[in-house]
Amino acid sequence: MTNVHVSMHPLVRTKLAVLRDQQTKPKIFRELVGEITQFLMYEATADLPISPITVQTPMAEYEGQTLAVRIGLIPILRAGLGMVDPILDMIPMAQIWHLGLYRDHQTLQPVSYYNKLPASPSVDVCLVLDPMLATGGSAVAAVSVLKRWGVPRIKFVGLIAAPEGVALMQKEHPDVPVHLAAVDERLNDIGYIIPGLGDAGDRQFGTR
């Protein structure tokens, strides 16, 4: 799988097991979504360009680095929301632009209901955030919107994917790196990831 990065970090692996556990309540579930997201972000941002900056320490001048690109976080409503604050803790200057998509329960096709993007791109790198990549329809649609918007670089950061979703992303957007904590076995006949974790939105927001 080119351009697909699955974290093998031991802390990601162990946190993921607790996240999947059906006994895990929304508060801990939300915390784990955040913690795993931060580990994935560490890897997803490793190639961001930096430029020189001079700062004055209390003792002397120091030649340091600053990020050379403007970062946009694109959470897919609603489950992607839980990934935003943990990333803002790491990249406080990131812009947040919301896209609302839900899967039609019958067709499993993404339905767009909200788009807060301004007329022209105000960022250089977009990170599309959604914990679940199932059929891949929502992620592919979100990336297509961002490409039409004209943003130069796009990455997808998710927690759990089905092989079907990864394959669709690679077919439709092979240039977009995909960062994940796991690629699971398969989708079931109603489009849920097996073993997965159930519905990521419901489990974060207590709406099951």
* Residue 151 binds ligand PRP (CB under 6 A): no
- Beta strand 110-115 with 186-187 is unpaired
Q: 169 is written with which tokens? A: 């992303």
- Select the span of 27-35, 45-53, 69-77, 199-207 touching ligand URA (CB under 6 A): 199-207
Residues 152-181 that bind ligand PRP (CB under 6 A): 165
Q: Considering the complex, state which of residue 25 and residue 66 has its C-beta at the smaller distance from ligand PRP.
A: 25
Catalytic residue chosen out of the listed positions 24, 70, 124, 202: 202
Q: Considering the complex, state which of residue 151 and residue 157 has its C-beta at the smaller distance from ligand URA.
A: 157
In the annotation, is 184 catalytic? no
Q: At what angle do helices 163-172 and 137-149 cross, to 10 degrees?
A: 20
Can you count the helices (H) and strands (E) in the chain?
6, 15
Binding mask 125-154 for ligand URA (x = CB under 6 A): -------x-x--------------------
- Select the span of 5-13, 16-24, 35-43, 195-203 touching ligand PRP (CB under 6 A): 195-203
* Residue 138 binds ligand PRP (CB under 6 A): yes
Total binding residues toward ligand PRP, as defined by CB under 6 A: 23
Residues 42-81 that bind ligand PRP (CB under 6 A): 76, 78-79
DSSP string, 108-173: --EEEEEE---SS---SEEEEE-SEESSSHHHHHHHHHHHHHT-SEEEEE-SEE-HHHHHHHHHH-
- Beta strand 132-133 with 160-161 is parallel
Bridge partners (DSSP) listed for residue 95: 72
Residue type, 46: A
In the annotation, is 130 catalytic? no
Question: Is the separation of the CB atoms in 130 and 158 below 8 Å?
Answer: yes
CA–CA distance, 8 with 86 (Å, rounded to integer): 20
- Select the span of 8-16, 83-91, 109-117, 188-196 touching ligand URA (CB under 6 A): 188-196
Catalytic residues: 103, 107, 199, 202
Q: Site residues (CB under 6 A) for ligand PRP?
A: 76, 78-79, 101-103, 108, 110, 130-139, 165, 191, 199-201
Q: Site residues (CB under 6 A) for ligand URA?
A: 79, 132, 134, 192-193, 196, 199-201
